[in-house]
Amino acid sequence: MEGVKEPALNMTVKARFGTAGIPNGYKGRTSGVVAFLASMGLDAFEYEAVRGVRISDEESRALGEQARAHGVKLSMHAPYYVNLGSSDPRIWEESLTRVRQALHALEVAGGDIVVVHPGYYGNSPKEAIANVIKGISALGGQGRVKLGLETMGRLSQIGSLEEVVDISTSFPSFVVPVIDWAHLEARSLGHMRNKEDVESVLDYLDRRLSNRELSELHCHFSKMEFSSRGEVRHHNLDEKGFYPDFSVVAETFIERGHPSPTFIAETSNSANDALTMKGIFSHLSRVTRTRSYLVALGLCQNTRQVDPASYSEIRTLRLALAGANSRAPRL
């Protein structure tokens, strides 16, 4: 196999990983948290304004400056007390005010996405969704910050995958879907566990979203406990018996070549879980590249035929390839 030309592979997926809120172990000004995360090897941070937008413009600017200096993607979670689907004018207007406050704070910081829970169906799902659309229209969307509608975990909440995508595509320059994989596990009552489940979500997004929207996909991740009504509570990644499994989600993203997803750990151990996700993603990227390289060289017939189970086995494959091509992928 002397002189074998290395095949051109389009398998590089550069994901970002970060925390929802201030991670355990950090003490100091809010604006300093991004340097703390960057020192750990993380490159995303979602400011949690879930109890209200209480960050000053001065601190927002400082947070944005630090994020840019350290290469950290910045997002914000709007207050939980938002129900854009409400038919009560007071609740609807107060919800709009809270979302506007979040959009303003992140605009000042120079961030990317404000994540919002759309609201509840109430007595009329059709009317509730119409109210959400009316509310988004009222927000205007004149700044650079995107409004991210999150997939929701309770069956009483507006936020199925189809709903958030339908609404998002009605406001293509302003609204984007935010995929919470744990919420999809809860809403589907346990059908977000295998590769086919994940592929069905990504297939749908591929059909409905533009390449730009797909390349900037913003995701939340944790494990999930649910009941017949949907979401009960989030769980850390090391807790057994709960799903989804991040390795399944990561492998599907990598194999499909979705270029730049962001994964925010929404757990009580957010920094460690974000690092765990980053490690899994990095490992599976190397495994997938090795498999693809072997297929391209004709050493096996498909990417599933070779299944390296450990780093030592991958290194053995690397050594086997070294004689055929000194530019085989580094592992």
Q: Which residue has the higher pLDDT, 242 or 8?
A: 242
What pTM was computed for the model?
0.87
Query: Residue 8 pLDDT more than 80?
Result: no
pLDDT of residue 312: 53
89: preceding bond cis by omega (within 30 degrees): no
Which whole number is the average pLDDT over 21-27?
94
Query: Residue 328 pLDDT more than 70?
Result: no
pLDDT of residue 327: 40
Give the gyration radius of the chain's Cα atoms: 21
The model's confidence at residue 297, banded by pLDDT at 50, 70 and 90, is: low
The model's confidence at residue 300, banded by pLDDT at 50, 70 and 90, is: low
pLDDT digits (tens, 9 = 90+) for 137-155: 999 887 899 999 999 999 9
Q: Which residues contact 158 (CB under 8 A, 6 or more apart)?
A: 85, 118, 119, 120, 121, 125, 128, 129, 132, 152
pLDDT digits (tens, 9 = 90+) for 188-208: 999 999 999 999 999 999 999
pLDDT of residue 310: 45
Delineate the domains of the chain, giving CATH numbers in brackets: 16-270 (3.20.20.150)
Average model confidence (pLDDT) across the chain: 88
Q: What own/partner pairs with CB < 8 Å and gap ≥ 24 does 68-72 have? A: 68/110, 69/35, 70/34, 70/35, 70/37, 70/38, 70/43, 71/38, 71/43, 72/18, 72/34, 72/37, 72/38, 72/42, 72/43, 72/44, 72/45
